[in-house]
Structure formats: C-alpha cells, structure tokens
Structure 1
Amino acid sequence: MAIELPDEFKTAINNSLTDGCPIIWTSTGADGQASLGFFGTTQAYSDHELAIWMRNANRGFLARIEDNPKVAMMYRNGPARLAFQIHGEARRVDDPAVKKHVYDASPEVEQKADADRLGTAVIVEISRVIQRGAVIMARDGDTGTAD
C-alpha cells in the first residue's frame, strides 16, 4: 500500500503546537542511544512527507540522522481522541527554496525564535503510519510492524 496521509492527520500535525499537543520525535545515533525531542515546527510537507524546521543547524538530531536516518514521531490529542505514530527516514535539506517553504509554514512563535533563519530544514519520507497498535499505511516495500 502507498502512503497518503489523510487530511485529518495533516491538519492535526500542522496545528499541533497551537493545539497544545507538540509532537515528540525520536532518533538514534551511531552509539545506539535513542533521543527524544519536541519539535513545534513539525508540518505536513506532502501526502507522504513531513518537514521540521531546525532552528539550530548544529542540533544533535541532525547529527543522529546522518548516522541513522530512521526516525519516529508521536502525536496525541486527548480531547480530540486522536493519536498516531509515524515512522520514516529523515534527511537534512539545505536547498534554499525548501528551507524557505518549511520556515514560512512554521508557527510564528517558532519563526520568532529563529528570526535570522539560521536553521535548516529536515524532510521525513514516511515509511509507515501506526494507529491503535496497527499499521494503517505503509510505503510500498516496507515490511515493518507496529511494534
């Protein structure tokens, strides 16, 4: 099956910070240690990609995805009764047009935190979407599970 992120999920992701439901990301470096972080700039970039604006181009997340591009994120909005995970492969993008698009689509509070646009963009190609313990979408050829 192919990935086509539903509009409900895209809206939830794009509004996560203002809704008080910041998205948690995990990445794992070469040493095997997982690391968690909240990224308020997470946004739907396409039907099968997410984007993140990294305010600091020297963040550990960027170093970890160079060693191991596999990442996961979790979204949960209790009052809306909506929760899901997304697994994917992340890459740093320094293309000026992509960076501008991702920065401009970020929440204003996040833009103000990097008014000089010193950060960079990350694009995540979605591998699978998990909801209620089941894989509900997977990239063609993805054999991963919900575990």
Structure 2
Amino acid sequence: MPAPQIQTEKENSMLQLTDEMKAAINSALADRVPLMLASVSADGQPQLGLRGSVHTIDDDKLGVWLRNAEGDTSANVAQNPRVSLFYRNPETRLAMQIQGRAVRPTDPAVVASIYDGSAEPERNADPERKGTGLIIEIDRVYQRGAVVLSRD
C-alpha cells in the first residue's frame, strides 16, 4: 500500500534536500547521532530534545514520532509551529541546522506512516503507538553559518 500523500500549505516549493542530507537524516539514529529538536513553550522558554525518530518524508518534509503525545514538544508546536533541528556527525564532518514549521497531523493514515517511517528502535519503544506524529515542513537549511537551501 503506498504511503498517504501529506499536504501542507506550500506545495510549490523549490526547496529540496540533497541526497546526502536525506541519507544522513534517515540514518542518524543508526549512526548514533540523533537530531536535536528545538521548540518554544507558550511562555517563551526554548526546549531541546534528542529525536531518534526523525526521517525524511519527501524533499522538503520531515516526519518525527513523539512517544509522548501530550509532552512538551507537542504542546509547544500547538502554540508556535516554528522549530529548529540540528544534525552533526563528527565522523563524516556533516552538520546542518534545519528550520521549519511543525504540525500534528490528524489523519490516522498519515500518523501511521510517520510511525512506520521511524527507525526500528523508536518503534520498539512505543509498540502500542501511544505517541503521535509531527510533520515538519522545511523552510531553510544552514551549513557552516550560511543558508544553503531556502523556501524564500
């Protein structure tokens, strides 16, 4: 069965992650370098968390499985969808900061596809699927302090 189509507000994007970026993100947990996800609470407090479930959905979207559906990240993006992710692999010397907007999908098929796209250790940590998914539409990617990809 094909994965469900995930619709977001900016469908005509020219932003496309490179194959190297996609491969790095998709193998981050296996490579022992999970991405750091930053969001901001309703009172303006930044919060960080390591996310082993981050994976690419397509050229400009990431999926993230949140094991705690009502946790800080979920609550934060409900108030302010702007998020940032940081990836760094010292062995390959690849680093990138990704900025985008997160949304919690309500379509059960989309939520299931985010869970299914997560790394096996992450799925095994939530076998009852009590968590929820996030879709992050990427707005820009920075490397070495410069914007290398942008929706603008």
Task: Using structure 2 for the length normalisation, give the TM-score.
Answer: 0.89
Task: Please say which of residues 96-105 and 12-21 is displaced more in the overlay.
Answer: 96-105
2:132 & 2:106 partners in 1: Cα distance? Answer: 6
Aligned to 2:143: 131
CA shift, 1:131, in A, is 0.4
The one of 39, 45, 53 equivalent to 1:33 is 45
Count of matched residue positions in the alignment of Structure 1 and Structure 2: 140
Aligned to 1:21: 33
CA shift, 1:53, in A, is 0.6
After superposition, what is the alpha-carbon deviation per residue over 1:65-94, rounded to whole angstroms, capped at 9, x for unaligned? 111110000000011010001000001112
- Mapped pair 1:104 → 2:116: yes
Contact 1:41-1:110 at 8 Å conserved across structures: yes
For 1:102, the aligned partner's letter is I
Contact 1:94-1:120 at 8 Å conserved across structures: no
3-state SS of 1:98 partner: helix
For 1:123, the aligned partner's letter is I
2:83 & 2:67 partners in 1: Cα distance? Answer: 18
* Structure 2 segments unaligned to the other structure (5+ residues): 1-12
RMSD between superposed Cα atoms in Å: 1.1
Task: Using structure 1 for the length normalisation, give the TM-score.
Answer: 0.92
- Mapped pair 1:76 → 2:101: no
Aligned to 1:49: 61
1:62 & 1:102 partners in 2: Cα distance? Answer: 15
Structure 1 residue runs of 4 or more that deviate by more than 2 Å after TM superposition:
none
Aligned to 2:79: 67
After superposition, what is the alpha-carbon deviation per residue over 1:24-55, rounded to whole angstroms, capped at 9, x for unaligned? 01001121110000010000111111110111
The one of 10, 18, 23 equivalent to 1:6 is 18
Task: Please say which of residues 92-101 and 116-125 is displaced more in the overlay.
Answer: 92-101
